[in-house]
Structure formats: structure tokens, C-alpha cells
Structure 1
Amino acid sequence: MENTIRGGQFLVKEANCESIFTPEDFNEEQKMMKDSVKEFIEREVAPNQERFEKKDYALTETLMRKAGELGFLGVAVPENYDGLGMGFVSTMLVCDYISGVTGSLATAFGAHTGIGTMPITLYGNEEQKKKYVPKLASGEWFGAYCLTEPGAGSDANSGKTKAVLSEDGKYYSISGQKMWISNAGFANLFIVFARIEDDKNITGFILEYDKDNPNGVSFGEEEKKLGIHSSSTRQVFFNETKIPVENMLSERGNGFKIAMNALNIGRIKLAAACLDAQRRVIDNSVKYANERVQFKVPISSFEAIQYKLAEMATSAYVGEAASYRAAYDIENRINKRIAEGNTHAEAELKGVEEYAIECSLLKVACSEDIQNCSDEGIQIYGGMGFSADTPMEAAWRDARISRIYEGTNEINRMHAVGMLIKKAMKGHVDLLGPAQAVADELTGIPSFDMPDYSELFSEEKEIIKKLKKVFLMTAGSAVQKYGPELESHQQLLLASADILIEIYMAESGVLRAEKNAKRFGEDSQKEQIAMAKLYLYNAVEKITQKAKEGIISFAEGDEQKMMLMGLKRFTKYQQYPNVAALRKEIAEKLISENKYCF
């Protein structure tokens, strides 16, 4: 079904549950792919968890090669470059299920398939694609991405690495230093970003690397890291490294654009990579809670433990809902552009760029959810959770990097709000009209009619509409007050982004549960309905806090009073849910199934 809600429009348009994609919608081909990936993980990866913690880089490389032989590295690659040419949802699915056991393999896979391969697939010319992409899709070669420098992290375009054209015009000499380069220890191909002369923007290059002929390339030692111990991460040094002119990627000065668009794809894939990690942490936590006996009963019988399990499962369920919702929207947009005559590369670039806001929101939400989930997993294990002999300690350490790479969560929060404002200014998302309507509503007489909330989720959907008004009220007033200067008020931007995140996630959870209740029956979806309601309640509480923080920071006097009254009106339930009962219902299902079962 063609998606009608464009990127960012979730804030001003109401989605219906029939139009969104959920994990329960996987087709037969997708289910087979999911089963294949899960079988590979259980056979080859899960039994080797200890080896990953002992910096077994060779194991990661071997498993990546096997993943290539099974076709997993080429899922997103078009068939004419020896890939499987599967849709965007399928590429998310593979990234999801291949990433759960260890962050080391997840990082190697993400760096290779995303920022290692995709820049050539999307920006390379036909000759470059034919030469390199089949080798990357099969796992014959591995890719790495050289962007970050000691002085250029979040400010990616400030890199100092230089590219100097030779006198005969046949090659560029690259000199400089890159750091935090994933897969550096076993990569055959590097996407390298450097500046030509005094260009405003950096330029991308494709570098073939042969260890027997290093061509001025050298490496630092493997980094000593908090987590992802078997992910090869090294500094890379270039000393007049020669790259043929025909290996420039795209056009001169286009490197910053390549880097940013590669990150859009990387962000939503990173969200997917956090999902199975959450499921596995929950599985282990439930099993341990059922087995661990204290005071003559399993600790799973204690409400304090049930609280944690319910919240962990709720975040995972909603994360799945939101990630696959966005992936389907992107896939629809790609297909629409292909139907209009775009090439696959153009369609994918524009399709993902359209949903850059959602990609950033998901990256933040899912990376923070896996961190919280693994932290609570340690707590459920108690003292054993702090031991490296149990899986929680490694899960927590591996999760920590997710909030940093593909753009820090702070950068992504500000990027999402900034992108939304830009879309509004371009007329792609009408924020002005709805924001004015909310302003008029604040000064009008509130309705005292009691709406009929007898249908499933009718009150929840009304609350989500009102939460959107909270964002329009606070962000709209902030934009009005500060104009272009708003970007320097980072605390306001961060608070606004948290409101956006909670709206998108809560709505996705409600729509997933509603869709499944309609097709499978409410009785079979009781716990899923409970999770959607619990997440929304938590979202309302968080949004209330963040919006209040924003309002009292920029508004004064009568304006502040009016907005605080509006906030109270927009975050009020007619009938509050019994959240303790919801958590108990969710936890009891997990405990009886002895796993994450949604």
C-alpha cells in the first residue's frame, strides 16, 4: 500500500494502523531470510561468545566471510552487481537478526554493508560499481570507511587529510590520519575522505589496499575499547598514498554529502541492530529470574523484578514497531521513485533522505533502549550480572558504543529538530498552520464534552494527537522567539527532540498493537495492547517533563502560564491506565513463556 505520510509528517498527520508495516507482516521470503540468519547466528556465533570478548579479530573476519558466502552481505546490493537486491525492509531484517549476540560482529557487518559498500553502490559510476561491489557483496573483499580524524568527529567536514593531484593528472596523493576505523585490520577497500586544495567540502575516494604493497598506508595498533572487543578498530595513516583519478567517488567536493547520506542509512540500520540485542538480553533475564531462587521462591515472582522485565519488553516491542514502520515507509518511497524513472541509486538515496528525521529519532531511541535494557539485565542478575562469566556484562559494554557512532545521540537529536524546521520552511511539512491552530486553541474556551472512548485505543490515539500539539506549542513558540538563533539554544533542541521521539515511538507501538488486535483478535494480543498502553503512559510523563522544562526556560509571565495550562490540558487522560496491572500482565506472559515472546 502506498505510503502517504512523508518524512516528518507524522507530527501533523494521523496514520492509520492498516497503512503501517509491522514484524507480523513479514512475507514468506522475509521469514525464510530471518530463519537463515538466526540459524547462522545460533550455529556459528552464539557458541563463541567468550572468544569475542578475548579480542579474536580472526573469528570476526571468518564469520564475515561465511556471512558473505550465505548472501547476507549482499542483501541490499542490486542483482546486477551480484547482490540479492532485496527491499529495504529485508535489509533491516538481516541487520536486526545478525546483530544480537555480539556487538563485534554487528559493528563489522554494519561498517562493511553500510558505510563500506553503500557509498559505492549509491555514488559510484558504473565502472566503479562493476569493479568493486560484487567483491564486497560476496565477502571476497571487506570494506572500511575513513572519515573521522583526531580533530574531526561530529564536525566531519573539518578534516585535515589532503589530496594533491599529481603533475601528470593521473592520481591523487593522500596524506593524513584517520581514527576509529572499523574493519581496518582486515579491509581490502577503504572509502577515504580528503580535501583537495582549499575546497569548502571534502571529497570521497576509493582506495584498494594490498598488504604486500601498502602504498603509504600504515595502521595503529588495535584500539583498547570498553566493548565490541573483537571488532577491528585502528587508526589509519596515509603518507602520499596514490589513488588513481578514476577512483574519485562521485564529484569533487561531494564527500560531505556522501558522508551525511551514508549516515542516514547507517542510523536506521543501527536502530535495527539494537533490536535483537534487546530480545536476547530479555531472554537471558527472564530465564535467570525464573531459575534464581531467593526466600524460597524464584525472583521472577517479585514485582520489583516483574517491573523491570515488563519495561524492557515494552521498549523492545515498540522499538520493533517504529523501526519496521519507518523501513516500510522508506521502501515505499524508493519504489515510488523507481516507478517514476529514477535509478536504483537515486531512488534509495532520496528515499532514505526523505525519512532522515525518523532515522535520527530511531537511532537515538533504540540505542538508549538497549543500554537501559542491558543495565536492567545486570540488575536482575545482581552480583552475577557484574561478572564476565555471565552475558550481561558484555551486553552492557557492547551497547555503550551505540549512543556514539553514526553521529552521537546529542547530534542526532539536534539534527532531527533542525531537519524538521528546514522541511517546514521548504513547505514539505506544514508546521505553521497546525502550530497556529494550537495557539488559537490555547486562547479559546476548552470543550467540556466527554468523548466516547469505548473502542480499543480510542483514548490513546486522542492523547497522541494532543502530544503532537505539545510539540507544536513548545517548538512553535521557541522558533517564533529565537528564529535562526534557535540552533544555539541546544537544551531547547534536545528537549524538543525527546518530545518528537516519544511521539513517534508511542504512536508506532499503538498502531502495531491495534493492527494485530484487529486481525488476530484482542484476546490473543492482550499483552501487546498492555505494552502499547504502558509505553504511551511513560511517554506522556516524559513529554510533560521535557515540555515544562522548555516552557519555563523561554516563556515568561502570562505566556508561560497559558502554555503550562495548555500542557496540563494536552497531557491529561480521561481514564488513566493502571500501570502496575499492565506491567504485571506483560511480565507474567514473559515469565510463563520463559523468553521474549512477542
Structure 2
Amino acid sequence: MVLKSKGTGANFLIEETDAAGVLTPEDFSEEQRMFAETTLNFIDKSVAPNDKQIENLDYDLTVNLLRKAGALGLLGADVPESFGGLGADKVSSTLITESLVRGSSFSLSASAHSGIGTLPIVFFGNKQQKEKYLPDLASGTKLAAYCLTEPSSGSDSLSAKTTAKLSEDGTYYLLNGQKQFITNAGFADLFTVYAKIDGKDFSAFLVERSMEGVSFGPEEKKMGIKGSSTRPVILEDVKVPVENLLGEPGKGHIIAFNILNIGRFKLAAGALGASKEAIRISAKFANERKQFQRPLSSFPLIRQKLADMNTKAYALESMVYRTAGLIDDSLKDLDYSSPDAGLKSAKGMSEYAIECSINKVFGSEALDFVADEGVQIHGGYGYTQDYKIERIYRDSRINRIFEGTNEINRLLIIGTLLKKAERGELPLLRKLGTLESEIHDLLQKKTGDGSLQPEAYVVSSAKKILLFVLGLAIRKYDRQLQLEQQVMSHLSDMIIQIYAMDSVFLRSMKRHEKLGQEKAENGLDMMRVFVNEGIEKIGCLAKETLAHIEEGDSLLQRLAVLEKLTRRVPIDSMTVKKRIGKRVAEKESYSI
């Protein structure tokens, strides 16, 4: 099931969203749930028993398992049926990505292949390229990799030094350069390689492993994800046929940035799956491990940890599937065989670039938190390789670097928001013009008698605070705001927190209406904790930002407004967290 959600990207900041139009896990169809079940069964039966060999970088085993996954349709969910795939919706492919994570490093090999490895052709390939490559990629007969990063260009990808020169007869491009940290490089058959034609026009090429001049550096010795292949790809006078140019010359940035958007979103889905796995094994350990003649899970501080871990995962899950619904709606009418499919898909994906970056930052940092607390619950055992939580902890660290560092994504969130406003794609500036009266109206409102009304008021206040501080920052810096990275980062952190709070609130409200008080109680408890802690974070970020951009009486006046907007009656979060933690321990897994 895919529900329509009105509005465009980042609209959540300036308009109230109808909970009925937000996709949540409670809306999944049986068919969508089957994708998750099939994936988990495959991981449990085929991947988990071979965990040690995979972690020792057994290429042949990984490739064999990828072929099996392809035969089950797990690699071709995003590939249109007309080109050999399943043509599934984004919710289904997101469920596959989330479920694969139980397979540790194998999930990275599979996700890199089916995501950033295959999607450039799905979205931007011409008919001939799709017919030639997609059926084999969907089945796992051929495997793919994505080559963007170079030794001297990571975040600044457009400064790439790999070059492409058209031959005199116009039949091929000669590629020279080196790509760094390429996932699946040890066994991939096809590489999407970015290079500059004549050293200036950033473009994408489909390079086959068998092409003369393609070679590889040694495997990187990594902190985590040890079972995935990560090697340099070296290109020395590689003759790439002109028909393997992906998209138009000089338009490689359109492909790169939009594929990264999807990659960021899929990374968040993977972080969700890993968070749930960390909660499961930590709750199980806490029930089995006894100290002072009591299970660890009976101690309030352990229950608090389980509650915080579970609440973070609940927020991430709410965000991920809300975003999946938005992307699905944006791409639902796309004809993949059409010549302009690339431009239309780019428009559809870029619409929610902000939400994709939000998911990536929140998801990677939520998983780090959950993994860290999981190690703490395990105590000394969590620091040993005999327990899976140790590997989850190590594997999680790369996510804050993958798909654009979190620092870059924070700058992208607010930078993209300002560009959308300048282009008239989002009525942000008009909203800022009416903000003073809206703040006045909000402060006059009473929270009402309904059980969910206080949190609705808090979420609305959070949005007003962001717009209030953003308006002052724009007034002070104007176009120079892009140079104020600390201010930009604080504003982005507020936006991230607001999307999370809004998603959690809307989902919990929807669950409450659909399931009733008793069945929705745990979600309501987590929502109240998350929203109340969230407004505290936003208040601190706003205060620090105001202190930087204002001074004297003006600062005092702004802080007075901020104090009113953050004022609320605190909840008894200690008691609420004890309830949440108890439920997690009893279920011995992620609990909603």
C-alpha cells in the first residue's frame, strides 16, 4: 500500500501534515511484508550459517550467495519488470534493505549492488543500456559497483581527476585515473565510473571489468564491514565504447547526486535494521545475564537504556517509511522505457533530497547510539568478538562517512532548503513574513484536553523556533549564510529533529486512532518521551545560534521569545522509560 502525502519536499516545516496521508509500517500490505519475510528467511538459512567465511572475505561464497539472492528477486526489486526485475515499490525495496542487515557485511555487498550499483542504469540508462545490463544485474548473474570517490576527492566529488578523452574516430572514450574505497570491487562485473571529458565535463560511464586497462589495488584493511570487498579501481587507457556513456556528456553530476540521494535513504533503512538487531540481542543478553541474583533487564538503568534504544529505532522507522511513501508517490508514474525517464526520475528524487539527507544523518547517528548502548549492556562481553554486538558497533561507524559525510549532509540540508526557497519551489520566505503573527497566535493557544494535544503544541512550537532562528540568520547573513558552517549545522540539526518529532507524532496519532489506546500505548509512550526530549535539544540549538548572531538587548528579546516557545509541563520520563524498557525486555526484541 502506498498512501499519497500532499505537498513537496521539506513542506513539513511550513505546513501541518495530515496523519492519514503519511505512510507508516502499520500500512504495509501483505505483499510488502512478504518481501521482508523472504529476505529474513534467506539471511537466516543461507547467510548466517556462513558468517565466519563471509567475514574472512570469501569472494566466491559472497558471489554465490548474491546469485541466490538474485534468484529470489531480492536484487531486482527496484528494476522494472520490462527489464527483468520485480518493479516493486520503494516500500518493498526498503523492507528488503532493512531485512538484509541481519546478514552483516553481506548486506553491504547486496545493497551496494542493487542500490548505487544498479540504480544509475535503472534511472538514467537508455533503452539499449537497460536491455543489455539490467536483466543480469537483477538476477545477480552480473554484479555492480559505483566508482565516485578518488584519493584526492571525497566530499568534493566534482573535483575528480579521472579523465575521459574521445577517440579521433568517435567510437570510444579513453579513461585514465583511480577510484578509491570501491565497495564490491573485488568481484563486480560492471562499474559506474565518473570522469571528466577533456578534463572538464563531469560524466558517467559504464565500465566492464573485462575491459583492457582495468585493474585493482589491494583490499583495504578496515575497522569494520570486513566481509565486504573494498578496493581501489585503476583505469589505464581503458577504451570505453561511446554507447557506454551514461546520460549526457557533462551531466554526470545529475546522476551522481540523485543516486546519492537514494543511497542515503537506503543507508538509513539499513541503519534501522541494524538498530533492531542490536536491540534484540541486547534485550536477550539482559534477560539471560544475572548480577546480584537478578537479571540485568530488571534494573531500572538497564531498562532505561533499552527504552532509549527502542525509542530511537521507533523514530527512525517512522521517518524511513514516511520518506519511502513520499519517494514512491514522486516516482509512481515514471515510464522507465521513456527517453526522458532520466530527467523525470532526477526531478522526482531531488524533490526529497532534504528528507534523504535527514534520514541518513539521523539513522547513522541513531545506530551508533544504539550499538554503543548495546555494548554497554553486554559489559565486558560486548568488547569481545564472541558477541555480535561488538561487530555491530564496529560496522556502524562507517555509516557517518558513507554516502557523503554527516557534516556534508548537514550543509546540504539547509543549503538545499534555501535554494528551494529562492527558486520558488517552497514558500519559505512568505512563511517567514507571517511568522510573527503565527507565533503570537500559537502562544495564545491552550493545549486542550485531548491526550495528544500537548505534543501537537510542542511539535508546532519546534517548527516556529526553527523558522524564527532561520529568519534572523538570513536577515543577518543573507547569501553569506552558506559560509557560516556552524550556524548551518545547527539549523540542520533543528530540521532533523523536527522531521523526526513530526514523523513520530503523526505515526503515533495514526496508530492510536487505528489500534486504540491499549495496543498503541507503547508507541504513545515513546512519542511523548521523544517529542519532549526533542524540544529540549531544539531549544539548546536555538539558544546557541541566537547567541552567535545577536547581542545585547536584541539577544535578550529573542531569548525571551524562545523561552516562551519552549515552555511546557515536563513529563515524568523516568517512569515512562521504565515502562518502555520493561516491554522491550519482555518481548526480547524491538517493541512497538
TM range (shorter): over 0.9
185-194 or 201-210, which moves further after superposition?
Answer: 201-210
Q: Hey, what's the Cα distance between the residues in 1 that align with 2:335 and 2:242?
A: 31
Letter in 2 for 1:145: Y
Aligned partner (choices 512, 535, 538) of residue 540 of structure 1:
535
Match of 1:356 in 2: 353
Question: 1:338, CA displacement in angstroms?
Answer: 6.1
Residue aligned with 1:73, SS: coil
Residue aligned with 1:176, SS: strand
Which string of whole-angstrom CA distances, capped at 9 and with x for unpartnered residues, describes residues 229-274 of structure 1? Answer: 0110001111101101111111111111111111011111111111
Q: Hey, what's the Cα distance between the residues in 2 that align with 1:588 and 1:178?
A: 49
CA shift in 2, pair 1:205/1:538, >3 Å: same
Q: Conserved in 2, the CA contact under 8 Å of 1:101 and 1:280?
A: no
Match of 1:83 in 2: 85
Question: 1:514, CA displacement in angstroms?
Answer: 1.1
Letter in 2 for 1:192: V
Q: Hey, what's the Cα distance between the residues in 2 that align with 1:144 and 1:430?
A: 39
Aligned partner (choices 235, 239, 244) of residue 242 of structure 1:
239
CA shift in 2, pair 1:307/1:218, >3 Å: same
Letter in 1 for 2:212: N
373-382 or 473-482, which moves further after superposition?
Answer: 473-482
Match of 1:133 in 2: 134
Q: Conserved in 1, the CA contact under 8 Å of 2:125 and 2:342?
A: no
Residue aligned with 2:449, SS: coil
Question: 1:336, CA displacement in angstroms?
Answer: 5.2
Match of 1:38 in 2: 40
Match of 2:206 in 1: 206
Question: 1:45, CA displacement in angstroms?
Answer: 2.0
Question: 1:475, CA displacement in angstroms?
Answer: 1.2
Normalised by the length of structure 1, the TM-score is 0.95
Question: 1:542, CA displacement in angstroms?
Answer: 1.1
Q: Conserved in 2, the CA contact under 8 Å of 1:69 and 1:139?
A: yes
Letter in 1 for 2:504: G
Q: Hey, what's the Cα distance between the residues in 1 that align with 2:10 and 2:354?
A: 6
Percent identity of the aligned residues? 42
| Structure 1 residue 577 corresponds to structure 2 residue 577 | no
Question: 1:344, CA displacement in angstroms?
Answer: 5.5
Question: 1:523, CA displacement in angstroms?
Answer: 0.9
| Structure 1 residue 64 corresponds to structure 2 residue 89 | no
Q: Hey, what's the Cα distance between the residues in 2 that align with 1:277 and 1:447?
A: 41
Gaps of 5+ in 1: none
Letter in 1 for 2:536: E
Question: 1:516, CA displacement in angstroms?
Answer: 1.0
CA shift in 2, pair 1:44/1:69, >3 Å: same
Question: 1:205, CA displacement in angstroms?
Answer: 0.7
CA shift in 2, pair 1:445/1:224, >3 Å: closer
Match of 1:403 in 2: 400
Q: Hey, what's the Cα distance between the residues in 2 that align with 1:6 and 1:493?
A: 22
CA shift in 2, pair 1:28/1:453, >3 Å: same
Which string of whole-angstrom CA distances, capped at 9 and with x for unpartnered residues, describes residues 392-420 of structure 1? Answer: 11001110111101100010111011111
Match of 1:527 in 2: 522
Normalised by the length of structure 2, the TM-score is 0.96
CA shift in 2, pair 1:527/1:447, >3 Å: closer
Which string of whole-angstrom CA distances, capped at 9 and with x for unpartnered residues, describes residues 569-588 of structure 1? Answer: 11121x32111111011011
Aligned partner (choices 552, 577, 593) of residue 587 of structure 2:
593
Residue aligned with 2:75, SS: helix
Question: 1:100, CA displacement in angstroms?
Answer: 3.0
| Structure 1 residue 386 corresponds to structure 2 residue 397 | no
Which string of whole-angstrom CA distances, capped at 9 and with x for unpartnered residues, describes residues 127-166 of structure 1? Answer: 1110011111110000111111111110001011111122
> What is the correspondence of 1:156-195 to structure 2 with a 5 Å cutoff?
156-195=157-196
Q: Hey, what's the Cα distance between the residues in 2 that align with 1:445 and 1:288?
A: 50
Letter in 1 for 2:526: M
Which string of whole-angstrom CA distances, capped at 9 and with x for unpartnered residues, describes residues 361-395 of structure 1? Answer: 00000011111100110000000000011011100
Match of 1:150 in 2: 151
Question: 1:492, CA displacement in angstroms?
Answer: 0.6
Residue aligned with 1:2, SS: coil
Q: Conserved in 1, the CA contact under 8 Å of 2:188 and 2:209?
A: yes
| Structure 1 residue 426 corresponds to structure 2 residue 462 | no
Question: 1:33, CA displacement in angstroms?
Answer: 1.3
| Structure 1 residue 485 corresponds to structure 2 residue 486 | no
Q: Hey, what's the Cα distance between the residues in 1 that align with 2:234 and 2:557?
A: 58
Match of 1:96 in 2: 98
Q: Hey, what's the Cα distance between the residues in 2 that align with 1:448 and 1:464?
A: 16
Q: Conserved in 1, the CA contact under 8 Å of 2:443 and 2:564?
A: no
Q: Hey, what's the Cα distance between the residues in 2 that align with 1:583 and 1:510?
A: 17
> What is the correspondence of 1:313-324 to structure 2 with a 5 Å cutoff?
313-324=310-321
Q: Conserved in 2, the CA contact under 8 Å of 1:99 and 1:106?
A: yes
CA shift in 2, pair 1:336/1:78, >3 Å: closer
Q: Conserved in 1, the CA contact under 8 Å of 2:224 and 2:395?
A: yes
Question: 1:427, CA displacement in angstroms?
Answer: 1.6
Match of 1:50 in 2: 52
Which string of whole-angstrom CA distances, capped at 9 and with x for unpartnered residues, describes residues 295-326 of structure 1? Answer: 11011111111111000000111111111001
Letter in 2 for 1:53: E
Q: Hey, what's the Cα distance between the residues in 1 that align with 2:536 and 2:449?
A: 24
> What is the correspondence of 1:279-358 to structure 2 with a 5 Å cutoff?
279-335=276-332, 345-358=342-355
Q: Hey, what's the Cα distance between the residues in 2 that align with 1:195 and 1:174?
A: 9
Match of 2:120 in 1: 119
CA RMSD, 1 decimal: 1.8
Question: 1:550, CA displacement in angstroms?
Answer: 0.7
Letter in 2 for 1:242: K
Match of 2:227 in 1: 230
Residue aligned with 2:102, SS: coil
Residue aligned with 2:86, SS: coil
Gaps of 5+ in 2: none
Question: 1:4, CA displacement in angstroms?
Answer: 1.1
Q: Conserved in 2, the CA contact under 8 Å of 1:37 and 1:97?
A: yes
Q: Hey, what's the Cα distance between the residues in 1 that align with 2:561 and 2:334?
A: 41
| Structure 1 residue 26 corresponds to structure 2 residue 28 | yes
Q: Hey, what's the Cα distance between the residues in 1 that align with 2:255 and 2:461?
A: 38
Q: Hey, what's the Cα distance between the residues in 2 that align with 1:446 and 1:72?
A: 48
Match of 1:14 in 2: 16
Q: Hey, what's the Cα distance between the residues in 1 that align with 2:343 and 2:324?
A: 17
Q: Hey, what's the Cα distance between the residues in 2 that align with 1:586 and 1:101?
A: 28
Q: Hey, what's the Cα distance between the residues in 1 that align with 2:382 and 2:54?
A: 18
Letter in 2 for 1:576: P
CA shift in 2, pair 1:218/1:572, >3 Å: same
Q: Conserved in 2, the CA contact under 8 Å of 1:81 and 1:134?
A: yes
Q: Hey, what's the Cα distance between the residues in 2 that align with 1:521 and 1:217?
A: 60
